[in-house]
Structure 1
Amino acid sequence: MPLLELMNPKEKLEKDVKAKVFDFLGKLQEDDALPGLHIEPLNNVADPRVRTGRVDIHYRAVLFKLTGKFGVKYVYVGTWHHDDAIKRAQKMRLTINAVGGFTEIEEVEPGADSAPIGASSPGIGDDEPSLSQLAQWGFTLKDLTEKMGLAPALAAAAMAAATKVDVLEIAVRDGGWQGEALNYLLDGLSIDDIRAKFSLDEPVEHDPDATEDEKLEAGFAHPTARAKFTFIGDQTELQNAIEASDFGAWRVFLHPDQRKYATKHYNGAFRLSGGAGTGKTVVLVHRARELWKANPAARIVLTTYTRNLADMLASNMHQLDPEVPLAKNLGDPGVYIANVDALISRVLKAAGAEVATAAESVLGKLITHVNNRTPDGAWQEAIDTADPQLSEALRSPAFFAAEYSMVVLPARITSKADYFAVPRPGRGVALNRAGRAQVWSVLEAYRSSCDIDGVIDYDEAAAIAAAYAEPSVGGTGLADHVLVDEGQDLTPARWQFLRALASEGPDDLFIAEDSHQRIYGQKVVLGRYGIKIVGRAHRLTLNYRTTAENLRFAVDVLSGAAYEDVEGVDETTAGYHSARKGPVPELVPCGSVTEEYDAIASRVSGWLAEGVAPESIAVLVRDKSTRARLATALSERGVALHQVDTGSIHAGHPSVLTMHRAKGTEFARVVLAGVSEGAVPAAMRSERYSEDSFSDAMLRERSLLYVAATRARDVLVVTWSGKKSALISSAADA
C-alpha cells in the first residue's frame, strides 16, 4: 500500500469535489495501479517524479511519486481543472533546501534548471546595488541563500529591491516560508533569530547512501516541511484533512515557530503571547493533543474565559483529531474542555461539605450556598446600605467590584484589621485609614446581604474553589496539565484557581494571552498569584488571518496607548505583521443613522449578489441594543441578519453580533457599524472614580475595537453616523 503525504493547498474545492478527492486518495492508498486512477507521468516537466491522477472527467490531482526503502509514497499537491492541473504539474519540482535539509516544492520553467517562477533575477552576485534596501542594512546575497536557505532568484530579487515596500511585495508574492523569512528581516530580526524560527539550525540528517527519493522522503520530517505537509496514516486522517473548512490549514499544518510550542516540554508555567490571528489558540489545541498522545492517562484541562470560546475549542479539538478523548468529568483521563467558571462550578459541586471550610478561609464564615450567583445591583445596594462617607466618585459599584476582586479576595481578607494592612498595588486610588474603614463598611454590607440571600459572586466562587483545590486544604489534584486561552481576561481569583488545579511541575500551566485583546476586567500581574513565568515566554508575530491592510487599521486603533502584559512588562506591536495583502479598509461616513443602515444594507446585499457565502459575512456592533435595532432596520431593507448571542454561527445567513461576542470568530467580510463618537468608546461613566480606572477602561475600549477589526480576513468596512469615533481618527485621516 502506498504511503500518502498531503500538501496544504491554497485552492478551495466545492463540497462534491472534496468528496471525489477523498475517494480518489483513498483508492490511491489501497492500490495505485487501479486503472480508474490514471496515475500518469507527463512530458516536458521540471521534475520527472510528477504525476497526475483522474479525480473525475473535469478534475485531475497533481502528485509526486517517490520510491525507496520506505516503499512508495505519493505527495498530493492539489486538484485543479484538467488543463490547469497539467500546466501546474509541468512547472513543479520537489527539492531539498540546501540549508535546512527539508523538502519543499518550487515552481520552475519545465525542462530547465531554472529558478522559481515569480522571482526575477537581475543577475547580481556578491556586489549588490548599494542603494538596495537590504544592502543598506548590511545583508548580502550569501546571507540570504547560504544562511537563510532562500531560493537564489528570490534572494537576488530581494537584494535588488530599492525600498522596504519593494521587499515586502516580493515577500507577499512568494506566499511561503521564504516570504515569511523576508518579512522577519523587515521587522528587524537577525538572521540567527530567523534561523531559529524555521529550525534551520536543526537540519535533516541524510544517510550518505540514501537515494534522492529517500532524502526527499526524510526531509518531510523537518518542522518547516511539516508546516506545509502532513503524513496521512489512515482513512480517518485523510477524510479530516480533505473535508477541512478554512480552519483546516490551521489545525493540520503548523508553522515551525508554532510547532515548537505545541510540542516542547517546560519545567514550569509557560506564556505564549501574540496578536490576533497569530495562531495561539491553534497551538493550544495541538499541545493538548500532543500531551494526550505522550500520556493517554494524563488529565488535561483546556479552558478559556467565555462559554462560546470553550465551545469553539471543543469543536476545533474534534476537527483536529476525533480520536482525542474529551473527558466527561473534571479529573478523568483525556482532555476536559470548559470555560473557567464552569470548571469552578464543577469543583464546588463536587466538594460537598468540605466546601464550607474553604469558604471560611475566603469569607471568614462557614457557608455551603455556593451554587447561586449574586444578582446585578448588589454592590449599589451595599453602598446605599452602608452609606459610606466617601467622595461621590468612589460611591461607584465599579470601584467596589474592582477593589473586591483585585485586593480583598486574592488576599483572602476576612477582617477590617486585615484590610487595613493589605497592599493595594495598581489600584490607582489612595485610601487613608478612614477611607479604608468606609470601604470596609460597604464590603461587610455586601457580604452580609449575599449571605442572607444565599448567593456568592463569580470571583468569590473562584476564590473558594481555589482554596478547596489547594494541597493544604483539599489537595484534589484534578489535573496534570492546564492550558489556558485568552488569559488576559481572567481575574486574580480565577488565576489562583487554575494555579491550584495542577501541582507545580513540568508542563503544569501553558498560557496563551494577548494584552492588546483584554476586553474584560482589570490588569493582572501573574507573579502576584503564584504563577512564575520569568524566562519561559515567547511572542508570536505573524498574523495568518488578517490582510496587511486590515491589520494596519486595527493596530492604528492601539497607537498612542500604553499596554502591559501579564508579567507587568510593557507590551508592543512591533514586529506584528501579515503575509497577506488585500483591499484597504473602506471608511464610510454617514449623515444619519438611516443613511448608515442604507449603506450597510447595500454592502451586504452586494456581497451576497456576488456569491459570497452568507455565513462568511458579519456586522459587528458595540452592544446588544444596537444589534437588535440594526437587525430590524436591515430586515426592513430586505437583508436578513442572524442575531448571534450564544451558540454558533448559522450557515446560510450573514450574522450580526456584538464586538464582545465576536471574540474567537473570523469572517471573510466584516462591517464595523456605529463606530461613532459617544458609542465607541462607550461612556464608561462608572469607571470615572479615578483617572487610572478611566484610562484602563479606555484601553479596554481600544482593545475591543482592535479585536473587532481583526475578525475580518479579507474585506473590512467601517461605518458611522455623525462624528466618527476618536479611536479611528488617525486611521480615518491617513
Structure 2
Amino acid sequence: MTIAGTSAGAEARRLRSRADEHRRQADEAEQQAGRYEIAERTEAETARFLAPLAGIGYHLLADRRWPGSKHAQVDMIVVGSAGVFIVDTKAWREVSVHGDRIHRGQEDVTDDIARLADLVYGAEAALAEIGLPPGEVHAVVALADQRRMHAHVASVDVIGVHDLVGHITKRNARLSPARVDQVLAAVMAHFPVIDGAQSPEQQLIVPEPVLPRQDLPRPVEFDDAELARQLLDGVLEAPIEEWMAFLDPSQAKLVRRNFNGPARLRGAAGTGKTVVGIHRAAYLARAGTGRVLFATYIGTLPKVLASLFERHAPELVDRVDFVGVHQFATRLLKQRGIRFRVDEREARLAFDDAWNAIGASSPLRAARFTRRYWEDEIKHVIKGRGLTRFDQYADLARVGRKHGLPIEVRQAVWDLHAAYDRGLRERGLTDWEDVVLLARDALRERPLAGYDAVIVDEAQDLSCAMVSLLHSLVGDRPDGLTLIGDGQQTIYPGGYTLGEVGISLAGRGVVLDVNHRNTAQILDFAKQMVADDQFVDIEGLDGAGDAVSAVTRNGPTPVVHRAAGRADHDAAMLARLTEVLRLVGTSRGDVGILTATNPQADDVMTVLRAAGVPFVSLKDYSGKAVDAVKVGTVKRAKGLEFKQVLLAHVRGRLLADAPVSVSEADRERRELERRELYVGMTRARDGLWVGTNAR
C-alpha cells in the first residue's frame, strides 16, 4: 500500500539534491573563474613588462602548449640574443626560501617549481638537436607585483616581475640574429599553439609601434663554429668559474649521446672534455633512478667540479657524487668495516729499509737508474695492477715505461717490492695503492648497488686497479662507464691499457678536436713541450696525441723570463701579475700561479704575502669565485682553467733542447716533466708567462 505524498516527497528531495549540486558546481566554477581571472591579470602584467624586449629583437610567445599535455600551457617563452627563457607567472604572496625548498606561506610549493625545471630539461633535449647548449635555456618564475626578489630553486630563477627584463638582458648578446631565427623555429615546433588559440603569428607579443612578424622563421643553416664564437663573446669577461662550465654546440649534442657499453671521450688539451663530463653527469642523473659517480685522481678537484655542477644543475646535487678515487676507496672500506692504516711517513721508512738492504752489486744500483725510478715501478707498475706473483710481472709489457728490463732486473725489482711489502705489514700499514686494491677486492666479494653511471675524469692518470674498481660499480651496462682523458697529458710514470682491465670500447669512442680554451699562440707554444712525445694510449695504440682541427681564439705571444736569480724571478713575477690585473675583465681570481712542487708553491705564496697580494692555495679552492690569486702545483691545477697563468720556478733545462747523452731514467723523467709543463701551459686561456731559473 502506497502512502499518499511519498512519491512527491522523493521527487522534491531529488530536485533539491540537484540544486545543491548545481550550487556546488557553480561555486567551484566561480572560484575557478576567479583563479583564471587572477592568472589572466598576472600573465597580462608579465606580458606588459616583457613587451619592450620585442623592440630590441626578442620574440615573445604566449600561451603555448606544454609538450605532452592536452590542456596545460606555458605562460610565456622569450627567445632572443640572450638565449631561451621559459617564464611561468605566479600570483604568490609570502614567498620564502629555506635551503633548496620554496614555500608560499606555510605551503611547500617546490614541486610546482620542479615541474618547470622538468619542462626546461625537455626543451634542452629538443634544442640540442640544433646544437644549442643546455646552458642557453633558462626557467623563470615571475612573481606578480614583486620587485627586487631573486631566488634559485631546482635550477629555476624565482624573480619579481619588475626585474624580468634586467634578468634576461644582463646575459648580453650570445646568439646572432640568424641563430635566433633558427632557435625560434625549433622552440615553436616544440611548444605548439594550443588548439583553437590564435595563429602562430598572433602569438608574438610586441608593443604597438613594432609590426608583428608576417612569416614564421625558416630553419637557417648555421655554422657551429660561428655559434661558438657568439657564445664565447658572452662569457669571456665573466669570472673564470662561469667560463669553466661553457659548452659549445657540438659538445651539447655529445652530452646526450647514448652508448651501449663503456665509452670514452678523448681529445687534446682545451677541447672541453671535463665540461662535457659535468653536463653529461646531469643528463645521466636525470635519465636514471640511481646515482652518478664522478671520479678523479686529484683529491682536491672534486669539490671544484661539484661547485661547477651546482651552478649548472642545483636540483641534482644530491644525485651526483664527486670524489677522488682514494676518497671513494677509503669510504668504502670504512663502510664495510675493513681495517687499514695509512701513514705516508712510516711507509717511506719501510721503503728506506728495503732499499738500504740492497747490495751494491744489485742491478738496481746501476748509475743509469735512480731510486725514484724503482719507487715508481713498484707503485705504478706492480701495485698499480695488483700483481701478486713474479710470473705476472716477468711477462708484463710495462705500458708507459720506455726502458725494457731483462729478467734478472725484474727479479731484483720484485725482491725490492716484496721487502717493502713485508716492511709495511710489520708496521701494520697499508699504502695508498693497497687501499685501492682492498676496495677493489671488497667489491669483487660483494658488489655495491646504487650507481647507474660512473664518469672518470683524467682517466689516463689512474692505475689499472683504480679503473677496475670503478668499472666494477656499473660493469658494461649501457651508458654505465664514461672515461674522459688525453694520453698526451699523462704526468705520472707507468700506465695501463683498457684491455688489461677487461674493458672493450668496441668503437664507442669520441674525439673532441676544437680548442676554445687556449689562444693559438698559447697552444703553439705549449705543443713544443710534447712535439716529439710518443706514448701508448689506454686504448693500447701508440700515438703522439690527438690533433686539434681548429683553435677559435688568438692572443699575445707567451712570455718567457729567464731570471738571473731568485730575487729577479720574484720581481718579474710580481710585475707580470700587476700587468695582467690591469686588463679589462681580469680579476685576481682569474689568475693562477702554478709550480712543479709544493715547496715552490709555498715560496710563491710567501712572495705574494709580502707584497700584500691576496691569494688562495689550490688545496683550499672550492670552485667558488674568489678575489684572490690562485696558487698551487700543476698537478692540482689539472681540470682547472685560468684567464692568465704564471708558471713559476720552471727549470730552464726543460725549455732547452734535450741532452744528447742521458740515462734511461733521466730521459723518461724529462718527458714526464715536459708533459707536466704542457698541462700547466694549457691551463691558460688568454695569457701565459713562464719564469725560469738556470737549472
Shorter-chain TM-score above 0.5: yes
Q: 2:523 is matched with which residue: 542, 551, 557?
A: 551
Q: Which amino acid aligns with 2:627?
A: G
On the 8 A contact 1:344/1:465 being kept in 2, the answer is: yes
Counterpart in the other structure of 2:81: 77
On the 8 A contact 1:485/1:511 being kept in 2, the answer is: yes
Counterpart in the other structure of 2:466: 494
Counterpart in the other structure of 2:311: 319
Q: Aligned runs of 1:199-598 on 2, under 5 Å?
A: 245-248=239-242, 251=245, 254-295=247-288, 297-326=289-318, 334-352=319-337, 368-369=339-340, 375-387=347-359, 389-391=361-363, 392-393=365-366, 396-409=370-383, 412-416=386-390, 424=398, 427-470=401-444, 473-477=445-449, 479-569=451-541, 570-598=543-571
Q: Residue 330 of structure 2 aligns to a residue in which SS?
A: helix
Pair 1:661-2:654 in alignment: no
Counterpart in the other structure of 1:236: none
In structure 2, runs of 5+ residues without a counterpart are 1-38, 66-73, 84-127, 133-172, 184-188, 205-214, 230-234
1:535-592 residue CA offsets vs partner (Å, 9 max, x unmatched): 1111111122222222222223221222332112214342343212222223334433
Pair 1:718-2:690 in alignment: yes
Deviation at 1:405, TM superposition (A): 4.0
**Which of the pair has the greater relative contact order for Cα pairs under 8 Å at 6+ separation?**
2
1:461-490 residue CA offsets vs partner (Å, 9 max, x unmatched): 2122112212xx223345331110011111
Counterpart in the other structure of 2:8: none
Q: Aligned runs of 1:168-179 on 2, under 5 Å?
A: none
How many Å separate the matches in 2 of 1:75 and 1:292? 27
1:185-223 residue CA offsets vs partner (Å, 9 max, x unmatched): xxxxxxxxxxxxx9xxxxx89999995789968969999
Deviation at 1:337, TM superposition (A): 1.7
Deviation at 1:269, TM superposition (A): 0.9
Deviation at 1:526, TM superposition (A): 1.7
Counterpart in the other structure of 1:131: none
1:345-375 residue CA offsets vs partner (Å, 9 max, x unmatched): 12222233xx5xxxxxxxxxxxx43565663
Q: Aligned runs of 1:83-94 on 2, under 5 Å?
A: none
Counterpart in the other structure of 2:621: 647
The 3 A distance-change label for structure 1 pair 629 and 257 is same
How many Å separate the matches in 2 of 1:560 and 1:177? 41
Output the TM-score relative to the length of structure 1: 0.62
1:603-626 residue CA offsets vs partner (Å, 9 max, x unmatched): 222344556412112322222322
Q: Residue 671 of structure 1 aligns to a residue in which SS?
A: strand
Q: Which amino acid aligns with 1:467?
A: D
The 3 A distance-change label for structure 1 pair 381 and 680 is farther
How many Å separate the matches in 1 of 2:315 and 2:596? 39
How many Å separate the matches in 1 of 2:565 and 2:243? 42
Output the TM-score relative to the length of structure 2: 0.65
Deviation at 1:406, TM superposition (A): 4.7
How many Å separate the matches in 1 of 2:252 and 2:626? 31
1:404-455 residue CA offsets vs partner (Å, 9 max, x unmatched): 3455346644345665566656655555554444333222211111001111
Counterpart in the other structure of 2:107: none
Aligned length: 528
Q: 1:37 is matched with which residue: 11, 24, 49?
A: 49
On the 8 A contact 1:548/1:581 being kept in 2, the answer is: yes
Deviation at 1:343, TM superposition (A): 0.8
How many Å separate the matches in 1 of 2:239 and 2:272? 16
How many Å separate the matches in 2 of 1:429 and 1:228? 44
On the 8 A contact 1:416/1:437 being kept in 2, the answer is: yes
Q: Which is worse superposed, 577-586 or 424-433?
A: 424-433
Q: Which is worse superposed, 593-602 or 383-392?
A: 383-392
How many Å separate the matches in 2 of 1:342 and 1:666? 24
On the 8 A contact 2:240/2:641 being kept in 1, the answer is: no
Q: Residue 553 of structure 2 aligns to a residue in which SS?
A: coil
1:154-186 residue CA offsets vs partner (Å, 9 max, x unmatched): xxxxxxxxxxxxxxxxxxxx9989999xxxxxx
How many Å separate the matches in 2 of 1:529 and 1:178? 50
The 3 A distance-change label for structure 1 pair 389 and 440 is farther
Q: Alpha carbon RMSD of aligned pairs, Å?
A: 4.5
Deviation at 1:319, TM superposition (A): 1.0
How many Å separate the matches in 1 of 2:577 and 2:401? 45
The 3 A distance-change label for structure 1 pair 450 and 579 is same
Deviation at 1:527, TM superposition (A): 1.4
In structure 1, runs of 5+ residues without a counterpart are 1-26, 42-49, 53-61, 80-99, 105-173, 181-197, 199-203, 230-240, 327-333, 356-367, 724-734
Q: Which amino acid aligns with 1:700?
A: L
How many Å separate the matches in 2 of 1:101 and 1:375? 54
Q: Residue 672 of structure 1 aligns to a residue in which SS?
A: strand
Pair 1:631-2:608 in alignment: no
Q: Which amino acid aligns with 2:413?
A: V
The 3 A distance-change label for structure 1 pair 219 and 405 is farther
Q: Which amino acid aligns with 1:37?
A: F
Q: Which amino acid aligns with 2:561?
A: V
On the 8 A contact 2:384/2:433 being kept in 1, the answer is: no
Deviation at 1:637, TM superposition (A): 4.8
On the 8 A contact 1:491/1:521 being kept in 2, the answer is: no
Q: Which amino acid aligns with 1:268?
A: G
How many Å separate the matches in 1 of 2:130 and 2:389? 64
The 3 A distance-change label for structure 1 pair 31 and 703 is farther
On the 8 A contact 1:614/1:653 being kept in 2, the answer is: yes
Deviation at 1:520, TM superposition (A): 2.4
How many Å separate the matches in 1 of 2:200 and 2:55? 20
Percentage of matched positions with identical amino acids: 27
The 3 A distance-change label for structure 1 pair 577 and 349 is same
How many Å separate the matches in 2 of 1:667 and 1:427? 32
The 3 A distance-change label for structure 1 pair 74 and 430 is closer
Q: Which amino acid aligns with 1:321?
A: A
Counterpart in the other structure of 1:15: none
Q: Aligned runs of 1:52-67 on 2, under 5 Å?
A: 52=56, 63-66=58-61
Counterpart in the other structure of 1:133: none
